């Protein structure tokens, strides 16, 4: 078999097997938790005075269980879940019943992608460039100051950074809102006032990610740069009298790029998980806030959908990276 085909086949099989195992574990994870989400949900409706009669409530519980497939044994539920998942159907949601869970997730997904995607790219790019520059000017006053500050900031979790920024910019300076995605006075649409409001409301959550994540990228990029500076080819480039800008672009940035791209693909899954807490703090209408709401109601279908989306994103990013590695770095061979 051609090395390229063998390499791709191994990666594809590993990817599909891992995905299958993850889907199975995700399905079982919350269904093994004691409790009946349907009875709890109908109990909340009774508390609101919607269903006063016990018999009527019990009939509704049985009907809901039938619609959600919870009247079957666990194995039958699993087979039904796999069949519907292959059709792209996650089943009805308790949160927005009778709407399908995938519709709710797709509504919230653009908010999360917009916030997380832009923040992740900005943090990664700033960390990479500044880290390489500080590594080049190692032991300077700027290097010591920025590196020390970055080491401290990189240890602060997203949610704690969010609280700090809210205290500073909302309660002390009073210049930015503390929650939501846009002004409640506005109707969503492609016009400047709404876009400006989205940027204003998204600034604090984005800054929380950029500051904490960007500091980590800066520290790792600086470390890589200092390591690269000890290589013989870099001494040779300096001896040839090449310009500093050319050395940084062609030799340092290029060699630091590969491990940082790998780190970015891995880090995205952790950032997406951290987004759940961050969106809850800011009441941001993304999939993280939806997931937190679904946990409270034990909405299995929404919980499964969000978890599978997070894990699928991480696995697919690493899978694509595995396939592209030999193209990015000639030192990687297909038989590796």
| Contacts of residue 118, Cβ cutoff 8 Å, sequence gap at least 6 | 206
Q: How confident is the model at residue 53, as a pLDDT?
A: 55
Three-state DSSP class for residue 229: helix
We report the CATH number of the domain holding residue 203 as 1.10.3720.10
CB 221 within 8 A of CB 256: yes
- The torsion angle over the Cα atoms of residues 192, 197, 198 and 200, rounded to 10 degrees, is 120
Nearest-angstrom CA–CA distance, 238 and 94: 64
Q: How confident is the model at residue 336, as a pLDDT?
A: 46
Retrieve residue 124's tokens: 């990664």
Looking at the domain assignment, is residue 78 inside a domain? no
Nearest-angstrom CA–CA distance, 54 and 59: 9
Q: Is the dihedral of CA 160, 210, 313, 335 positive or negative?
A: negative
Looking at the domain assignment, is residue 121 inside a domain? yes
Q: How confident is the model at residue 131, as a pLDDT?
A: 87
| Contacts of residue 149, Cβ cutoff 8 Å, sequence gap at least 6 | 215
Alpha-carbon distances, residue 195 vs 180, 199, 324 (angstroms): 14, 6, 36
Looking at the domain assignment, is residue 246 inside a domain? yes
Looking at the domain assignment, is residue 133 inside a domain? yes
Q: Is the dihedral of CA 27, 33, 38, 42 positive or negative?
A: negative
CB 218 within 8 A of CB 153: no
Quickly count: other Cβ atoms within 10 Å of residue 77's Cβ.
18
Tokens 């994540």 belong to which residue? 213
- The pLDDT averaged over each successive group of 10 residues in the chain (336 residues) is 72 88 84 67 60 58 69 80 85 79 88 84 88 83 87 84 88 86 84 89 88 87 83 76 76 75 69 74 86 81 86 81 67 53
Looking at the domain assignment, is residue 201 inside a domain? yes
Classify residue 92 by its DSSP letter. Answer: B
Looking at the domain assignment, is residue 94 inside a domain? no
Quickly count: other Cβ atoms within 10 Å of residue 239's Cβ.
8
Nearest-angstrom CA–CA distance, 62 and 49: 19
Nearest-angstrom CA–CA distance, 98 and 210: 38
Number of domains in the chain: 1
Q: Which residue segment(s) compose the domain that 160 sits in?
A: 114-286
Looking at the domain assignment, is residue 30 inside a domain? no
Looking at the domain assignment, is residue 95 inside a domain? no
Retrieve residue 257's tokens: 């790029």
């Amino acid at each position: 078999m051609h090395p390229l085909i063998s390499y791709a086949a191994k990666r594809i099989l590993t990817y599909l097997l891992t995905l299958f195992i993850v889907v199975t574990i995700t399905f079982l994870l919350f269904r093994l938790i004691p409790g009946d989400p349907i009875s709890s949900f109908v109990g909340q409706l009774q508390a609101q005075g919607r269903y006063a009669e016990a018999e009527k409530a019990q009939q509704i519980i049985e009907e809901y269980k039938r619609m959600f497939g919870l009247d079957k044994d666990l194995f039958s539920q699993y087979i039904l879940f796999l069949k519907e998942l292959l059709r792209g159907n996650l089943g009805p949601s308790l949160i927005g019943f009778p709407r399908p869970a995938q519709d709710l997730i797709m509504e919230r997904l653009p908010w999360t992608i917009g916030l997380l995607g832009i923040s992740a790219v900005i943090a990664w790019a700033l960390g990479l460039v500044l880290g390489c520059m500080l590594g080049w000017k190692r032991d300077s006053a700027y290097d010591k100051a920025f590196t020390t500050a970055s080491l401290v900031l990189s240890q602060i979790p997203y949610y704690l950074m969010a609280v700090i920024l809210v205290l500073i910019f909302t309660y002390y300076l009073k210049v930015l809102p503390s929650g939501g995605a846009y002004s409640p006075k506005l109707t969503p649409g492609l016009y400047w006032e709404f876009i400006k409001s989205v940027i204003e409301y998204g600034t604090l959550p984005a800054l929380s990610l950029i500051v904490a994540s960007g500091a980590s990228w800066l520290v790792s990029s600086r470390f890589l740069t200092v390591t690269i500076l000890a290589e013989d080819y870099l001494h040779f480039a300096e001896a040839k009298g090449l310009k500093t800008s050319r050395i940084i672009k062609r030799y340092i940035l290029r060699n630091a790029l590969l491990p940082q791209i790998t780190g970015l693909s891995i880090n995205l899954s952790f950032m997406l998980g951290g987004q759940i807490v961050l969106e809850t703090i800011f009441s941001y209408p993304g999939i993280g806030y939806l997931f937190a709401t679904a946990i409270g109601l034990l909405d299995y279908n929404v919980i499964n959908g969000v978890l599978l989306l997070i894990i699928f994103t991480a696995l697919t990013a690493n899978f694509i990276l595995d396939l592209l590695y030999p193209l990015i770095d000639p030192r990687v061979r297909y038989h590796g």
